[in-house]
Structure 1
Amino acid sequence: MTSKPWFEAHDWTTVQRDIYATTPRQVEQALATSRRTLDDFRALISPAAQPYLEPMAQLSHQLTQKRFGKTMQLYAPLYVSNECQNICTYCAFSLDNRIARRTLTAEELLREAQAVRALGYEHILLVTGEANQTVGVPYLKQAIRLLRRMFSHISMEVQPLDQPEYEELISEGLNTVLVYQETYNRSTYRNHHPKGKKSNFAYRLETPDRLGQAGIHKIGLGALLGLEDWRTDSFFTAAHLHYLERTYWQTRYSVSFPRLRPIDLRQNGAITSKSFERCMSDRDLVQLICAYRLFNEEVELSLSTRETPRFRDHVLRLGITSLSAGSKTNPGGYVVEPQSLEQFTISDERSPAEIEAVIRQHGYEPVWKDWDKTFMPL
């Protein structure tokens, strides 16, 4: 059992009941105030808020431009390993999926990094499966040392680590860590993570605390939308963000919106595709993006290539501040081994240059890096 007061203060069943009992009057009150609380956020993600989507979108657009201007940050994921010691019911890298496993060598990592850098990126997201023996801290340290020569900002989405390990990687040049709780429903979480270190709900939940205590520059949060009721999971994500911002106030924060995507499974020599039925609609996701912006004017909101080109173009002006483009979700996917199995299928296959053109057509300026280390205090 986790001892975090912010988490224990909210009961899943009660939160879910209150969301679906929200009235139009509560939504109107949430829209009318300028300092929104978690109760207001709960109203804005409720079914009762759906008729108010247009004013939510307009206000979200205004607040985003006021804080971030007409800019859109671009980043690319670099998958270096599909080795994983966990069984996760929604991931192609799951230990029980009989796929060919591979981890990039230092030479292969450099080739992939050079290909990403040639696309214009200065912000790279390092991604691995969760396998401490193969892609543990020594591997990650070497990877960061190689990548920091080419990129001004290095993010990481790997297995949760202990605080001293994060401190070690930060000293090497790590700037940002993304860690998604997947779902904040403890029972559902257990069902989807039956084996491996990831099955420890509390350890994963407390990862952002270890990051904050280690002094990380930015933490990325999110729930895997579709594992559980998206509204309730999003409330818990917002409550988590609210707690972290007040506890580790020198750290920046971002929220991502990963919707479940189909995955390929390889069992007994055959390849099958697994889809998911609980995913939210496009309209639901627009509502959620706007609700986050109305709740928090400072948080960065990120959208990946899981989403379709049409949807990404539509929401570009509604609160999103960063986009991935030209993404490959398999180790070596850019140049080393393009045909290796993807972690999930992407929807927007446009090149970074095409995304840049779309951003400019909307009157925005693409930004190819997050920040520069020369601006950090000594």
Structure 2
Amino acid sequence: MSFSVRFSQLNLDDLSMKLYASTAADVERALQHPSGNLNSLLALLSPAAQPYIEQMAQAAAQLTRQRFGANLGLYLPLYLSNLCANECDYCGFSMSNKIKRKTLNDAEILAEVEIIKSRGFDSILLVSGEHETKVGIEYFAHVLPLIKQHFSYVAMEVQPLKADEYQRLVALGLDAVMVYQETYRAQTYAKHHTRGKKQDFTHRLDTPDRVAKAGVDKIGLGVLLGLDDWRLDALLMGYHLDYLERHYWRTRYSISLPRLRPCTGGIEPKVLLTDTGLVQMICAFRLFNQQLDISLSTRETPELRDNLLPLGVTQLSAGSSTQPGGYQQPDSQLDQFEISDERSVDDVIVAMKTRGFNPVFKDWEKAWGVNNVNG
């Protein structure tokens, strides 16, 4: 059993019709029993829920404080390479884009690590383009121990790997894997992924199954909001999350809700997600899952990020660079996408504390060891 089997049983057109046929009565019922209820998530993501966003926001803020207190986890991405063997029309790393290509060596990695540590971070996300021959498992197995000795929590956002390769990285200290489906609409997926292994929709869909079976502590899901109807993509991500939690209950989960941002050779959103829509989505997922980590990147503006903090967000980046070597030598020609929040880490921390939140640089929760394997 894998999620692709469950996914094949879903009627996406029927789910879309239900989304847009939801009524105020459906939303009010959903607000009574939102936790773990996919029908409630559908109603809360629907257009009918828009008049209830203030009520949803108040409930989401209360639930978040009950579960996470006033703590907000801080992390920073470390881009290892922008080499990529895929053609994805929304990404600056896409193989046809005429940009400088770079893969960090040991000395360059340590130079980036030194800067990141000087800013106080103890949680890091390793990111690379998807190029398995030049930046594959052997490269990751080499650099992970080098980096892990400096950080308590190391996550990766790279190309999908095999289950035994994930197990190998877990043994070397890997704590989390972020693997974003981009869109759950296969036809739209095919339109935007025209070359390389990322063309395989089903293989990517089943990657979280392989990650969970390898005993990774946390799995991150995400969709690139704007490629297709964000309401339906978010709902299908909810189905994916529900499946994973039922089958791999020892693993923790997070979601990321990135909106399509400008990049080299980039595209315009098919469906525009407004700020209000983003608020609705964050609140809907918090009401659906009280334990879920919700991550907010520097793709959003400073003002919006600050206003979203009370509504369900638990993890955010600050002072990010989206290019390999970008902390030591900034160079916009290597960026994966443009960021909107360019504030320093100190400025973000001041904004957090002003709103009554505690910045947390270290993830203390380590409930399951490297020998944990989901069954």
TM-score (norm 2): 0.95
Q: State the distance in 1 between where 2:285 and 2:39 align.
A: 13
Identity %: 48
Residue type matched to 2:347 in 1? Answer: E
Q: 1:279-332 CA distances to partner (integer Å, 9 max, x unpaired)?
A: 300000000000000001011000000000010011100000011000000111
Equivalent residue for 1:53? 53
Of residues 345, 350, 362, the one that matches 1:357 is 350
Q: Does the 8 Å CA contact 2:3/2:240 hold for their aligned counterparts?
A: no
Secondary structure of the corresponding residue to residue 326 of structure 2: coil
Tell me which of 279, 300, 313 is aligned to 1:307. 300
**SS in structure 2 at match of 1:134:** coil
Distance 1:277 1:10, change over 3 A: closer
Deviation for aligned residue 1:264? 2.1
Change in 2 beyond 3 A, CA 1:107/1:66? same
TM-score by length of structure 1 reads 0.95
Q: Are 1:285 and 2:278 matched, yes or no?
A: yes
Helix, strand or coil at the partner of 1:92: coil
Residue deviations 1:84-127, cap 9 Å, x none? 00000100100111111111111101101111111110000000
Instruction: Report 1:100-119 matches (<5 A).
Output: 100-119=100-119
Report the Cα distance in structure 2 between the residues aligned to 1:9 and 1:323, rounded to whole angstroms.
35
Q: Is the 8 A contact 1:131 1:159 kept in 2?
A: yes
Distance 1:183 1:254 in 2: 17
CA distance in 1, matches of 2:267, 2:190: 20
Cα distance change of structure 1 residues 34 and 15 upon mapping to structure 2, 3 Å threshold: closer
- Unpaired runs of 5+ residues, structure 1, are 266-272
Aligned match of 1:268: none
* CA distance 1:230–1:3, change in 2 (3 Å): closer
- AA partner of residue 318 (structure 1): L
Partner Cα separation in structure 1 for residue 236 and residue 364 of structure 2: 29
Indicate conservation of the 8 Å contact 1:152/1:372, yes or no: no
- Cα distance in structure 1, aligned partners of 2:282 and 2:51: 15
CA distance in 2, matches of 1:274, 1:181: 18
| Superposition deviation, residue 275 in structure 1 | 4.1
State whether structure 2 residue 188 is matched by structure 1 residue 188: yes
What amino acid is the match of 1:369? K
Aligned to 1:269: none
The residue that corresponds to 2:263 in the other structure is: 263
Structure 2 counterpart SS, 1:264: coil
Extract structure 1 runs of 4+ deviating beyond 4 A.
372-378
Counterpart-to-counterpart distance in 2, 1:354 and 1:140: 33
Shift of 1:182: 0.4
1:3–1:221: structure 2 CA closer, same or farther, 3 Å change rule? closer
Offset from partner CA, 1:208-255 (integer Å, 9 cap, x none) = 000111010000001110000000000000000000001000000000
Counterparts of 1:374 and 1:244, CA distance in 2: 18
Which residue does the alignment assign to 2:253? 253
- Look up the equivalent residue of 2:186 and give its one-letter code: R
Aligned-CA RMSD value: 1.6
| Equivalent residue, structure 1, for 2:314 | 321
Q: Which residue of 1 aligns with 2:171?
A: 171
1:30-72 deviation per Cα after TM superposition (whole angstroms, max 9, x unaligned)? 0122545100000000000000000000000011111111100
Give 1:330-345 correspondences, 5 Å limit: 330-345=323-338
State the match for 1:295 in structure 2.
288
Q: Which moved more, 1:322-331 or 1:274-283?
A: 274-283
The match for 1:244 is: 244
Q: How far did 1:339 drift?
A: 4.2
Is this contact kept in 2: 1:111–1:336, CA < 8 A?
A: no
One-letter amino acid of the structure 2 residue matched with residue 235 of structure 1: L
